[in-house]
Amino acid sequence: MINRDHPIPPSPANPIPLLAIVGSTAVGKTGLAVQLARALDGEIVSADSRQVYRMMDIGTAKPTPEERAAAPHHLLDVVDPDGDFSLALYQDLATAAIAGIAARGRRPLLVGGTGQYLAAVLQGWQLPRVAPNPELRAALEREAEIKGASALHARLALVDPIAAAGIQPGNIRRVIRALEVYEATGTPISAQRSIQPPPYRIVTLWLTLPPALLYARIDARVDAMMAAGLLAEVQALRARGYSWDLPSMSGLGYREFRPLFDGTATLDDVVTRLKYDTHAFARRQPAWFRRLPGITRLTADAPDLLERALAAAQV
């Protein structure tokens, strides 16, 4: 039991009890998290790299106003779509939010599906603090356009084969970031990333579903997003001048609309592609979850899910 009146500062001998709720997109994390937050007198810290952006609500599947009213949420709507946001900044903000929640005598819940965000907090990554270099990024983006993403990835492999092995060639943003850190410091990013156990007592609830059922949920969510006005949301973002090349606009849920605006695809094509891309994303996510500490797997459609989650959360 957390003593709300006299919270004790965290230390290796007195770690903060941290409950993480992870799982592939559309598996049901938010619904369970809100129920747990209410039952455990907790507050939710988002671990979603897309939900940090303002004005991007439908395509990122942000918690609804009702869900946000039911339990306090942190790290939603942090920056505008053209704002800079890094893994290191996320780690700093999440760490501060968790400490603040515990200091108020409440239970922090880390909830999301962005693997790097979860690992940085739960594994205590020590990250290089290198500021973005817009000129270098622009030059590397041009190089990728001219020579192809695989050529840029090969360039990274020459200076940091460890980082290159862990980054897909098509993930240009991560390739560029690794090259940016190397250019700024002369040291591979893989050599600068270490792990220091964080001051938490961690329980990680990993929600799972059979692939066919998860894909059905994804498809239903995409249909619901379209009905809720996702196209209008994208139109509003473009009307505000936000470029397709921004990390926010080139992410899942938004990039699929670019061919529609270019006149090379129909809306039906966009919906089909969005479902396909989301299925692929959901297949990749578990590779991160398997590495997280304190894992308890729970079937997301179990009739006694809340009871099982509450039992596992008692640390």
What is the DSSP pairing of strand 200-208 with strand 42-46? unpaired
Q: What is the pLDDT of residues 174-232, one digit of tens each?
A: 899 999 999 999 999 988 877 889 999 999 999 999 999 999 999 999 999 999 999 99
Phi and psi dihedrals of 25, rounded to 5?
A: -55, 140
At residue 45, the 3 state secondary structure works out as strand
What angle do helix axes 211-228 and 230-239 make, rounded to 10 degrees? 60
- pLDDT for res 191: 85
- What CA–CA distances, in Å, run from 168 to 100, 118, 173, 175? 36, 19, 10, 8
Q: What percent of the chain has pLDDT over 90?
A: 86
Q: What pLDDT score does 10 carry?
A: 54
* Burial of 72: CB neighbours in 10 Å, binned 0-12, 13-18, 19+: middle
Choose which CATH entry (3.40.50.300, 3.40.30.10, 3.40.50.1980, 2.40.50.140) describes domain 16-127+195-313.
3.40.50.300
16-127+195-313 and 134-192 have identical folds: no
The CATH topology of domain 134-192 is Histone, subunit A (1.10.20)
Domain spans, the chain: 16-127+195-313, 134-192
Cα 71 from Cα 79, distance rounded (Å): 21
User: How confident is the model at residue 198, as a pLDDT?
Assistant: 94
| pTM, to two decimals | 0.88
